[in-house]
Structure 1
């Protein structure tokens, strides 16, 4: 395994992070435990979850992923070997079953964190992330910012003050954001810089061969401000494994079970995927190796979040840490990006 440190900390994390959002629906508790056993055995010391998991989130399975991680901690006693990240959900009218109010008020943050810690059977989180902004921006499936009245009032200072109190209480060590844009990141950094408040260390956004929008502006913020990207969906819901190009049926695949997640299902995505597969095979690689190695080796990526529903998938994903892409391969990847830029917003 390869390691780096969380920006502006002394915490060592694996360049591959175990994503757990399938635990509780696509994966049973026993399967989740087996994945965590194997990942840690292979040097993956970084696990990511969220209060709303498993996905798709619904009342019956809300919090199930954190519970499964919690029972694994209790069974194994290996909490101190894991760098653990979770998230608080922002406003969404469909998730009212989580809390009375989905916002980032002090009361909501403290309540959500306490509930997560209870489910996870731990006293602290290494990283606590805002899952998406309170502002109506950077929404899943929406390309770019759209001007609209969202009745949002700037509360970055209050949010950071709340996080500061939780850090001082020992409940969290560091903070991060997810599904955020450059303006939100810079506003948070500005508040922390001028008011001696906690600084965000990470941003968790989608990034893959099919979605390189992060490079447009956010990558520069990460490099210049030393904020690490935790790249999620590096295989684009499994599309970049190439399995959907075969014409075979995959009834247990995420996109088959949950067709509402159509972000990577466009004709352009399929066309780009086929071209990337040709590059991979030309150089003696699988498409999975090409796709994950591309993300893992970007200078602004702290860790790439992989998710798997089978042990074979998990083993293949973790093994990609040893793949190094030549400049010739990168040039060929970029030529495809130039022809079909970011088919999945």
Structure 2
């Protein structure tokens, strides 16, 4: 079982020398990083209703809710982003997750908008009160606009160094708490693909070289910890083995999709790999509402509201949650929620919240009403009952991972 603990007085546990809370200077040159501890009172479960857990092998103690940001600069304005940030952090959330490629859907004209919005907000907050997680992109020819060279993006030293520096500039900070590889450099099945296709195999940057590049940004004081996203059991084991054998940075987290609609890809074998007694990798569960579909809004929401909803606003985007089988599964889960006097959101988020292998759930919202409802699902005093969990499993047996193609 993963321990649930109250956060220490700062965002790092005793024994870790916290990085300075100074803002990143405008000049290109970076001053030497100060290593002094700044003691600032942190929220507790008693004051916020949230839980706080240690992230893998790191000294980061994070809330069991992470604020997702991928709609900022796309569906949300900067003012709306700041309103969400203020509410979330005033209610006990202490970690945000972003990426160099956000907002989603990614587009050249919106490059870096999300990090810029966050950077402007960070000027109003003590640096050691905000855990900043961001991501460098994995292999992509389409996202070549992210790099000065205009070449395809890879997970190598050149790309990692440039990506980190660009993120630091946009965020206006000296260091990133958690840097994640957004998706692997090699081919892996993602975003609804149900199996590995050997014909898609391609040459990729060796994992040792990726870790060596990540070590460089850690040694430079630009990054504290590293993690992966959209990764497989093989990948996690390779990262951990290389780190152990060669004294390279060990990944502390994995950010993968996990929800009532997407379970087996983690539960079958990644769960074993990530256990504290094995590799001790913290799961940051993204899309716990399955792109918003588990809220039930696509079943019975009014048409005017749905016009601005993600699956309708961007035809084909996250289409795996829009298929007939997925819709049948959502309907069944909504029925379970109603039978037990829960909202669909309380059921879906309550399930992920109750999983001991989940360190934190990444929630995103386009409206303040959605954000408040999402957070409230984690501040309820009671977890889902055994009767509710039993009914969930009955649906799961009928609709096992219906979002996969």
Which TM-score band applies after superposition, normalised by the shorter structure? Answer: over 0.9
Summarize deviations over 1:315-340 as a string: whole Å, max 9, x none: 00001113411111111111111111
Q: In the alignment, does 2:373 pair up with 1:316?
A: yes
Q: TM-score, normalised by structure 1?
A: 0.97
Q: CA deviation at 1:153?
A: 4.1
Which moved further from structure 2: 215-224 or 120-129?
A: 215-224
Q: For residue 143 of structure 1, what is the aligned residue in structure 2?
A: 194
* Aligned pairs (5 A) from 1:191-210: 191-210=242-261
Q: For residue 387 of structure 2, what is the aligned residue in structure 1?
A: 328
Cα 1:247–1:43 shift into 2, 3 Å: closer
Q: What RMSD in Å do the two structures reach over aligned CA positions?
A: 1.2
Q: CA deviation at 1:79?
A: 2.6
Corresponding residue pairs, total: 344
Aligned counterpart in structure 1 of residue 66 of structure 2, from 12, 17, 22: 17
SS at match of 1:302: strand
- In 2, the alpha carbon distance for the partners of 1:312 and 1:25 equals 18
Q: For residue 252 of structure 1, what is the aligned residue in structure 2?
A: 308
* Structure 1 unaligned residues grouped into runs of 5+: none
Q: For residue 221 of structure 1, what is the aligned residue in structure 2?
A: 273
Q: CA deviation at 1:154?
A: 5.4
Q: CA deviation at 1:138?
A: 2.3
- In 1, the alpha carbon distance for the partners of 2:204 and 2:67 equals 35
Q: For residue 64 of structure 1, what is the aligned residue in structure 2?
A: 113
Q: TM-score, normalised by structure 2?
A: 0.83
Aligned counterpart in structure 2 of residue 52 of structure 1, from 97, 101, 106: 101
Q: CA deviation at 1:247?
A: 5.5
Q: In the alignment, does 2:141 pair up with 1:85?
A: no
Aligned counterpart in structure 2 of residue 3 of structure 1, from 47, 52, 55: 52
* Aligned pairs (5 A) from 1:1-345: 1-74=50-123, 76-99=124-147, 100-101=150-151, 102-148=153-199, 150-153=201-204, 155-212=206-263, 213-223=265-275, 224-246=278-300, 248-249=302-303, 250-261=306-317, 262-323=319-380, 324-345=383-404
- In 2, the alpha carbon distance for the partners of 1:153 and 1:272 equals 37
- In 2, the alpha carbon distance for the partners of 1:50 and 1:96 equals 15
Contact 2:139-2:154 within 8 A present in 1 as well: yes
SS at match of 1:279: helix
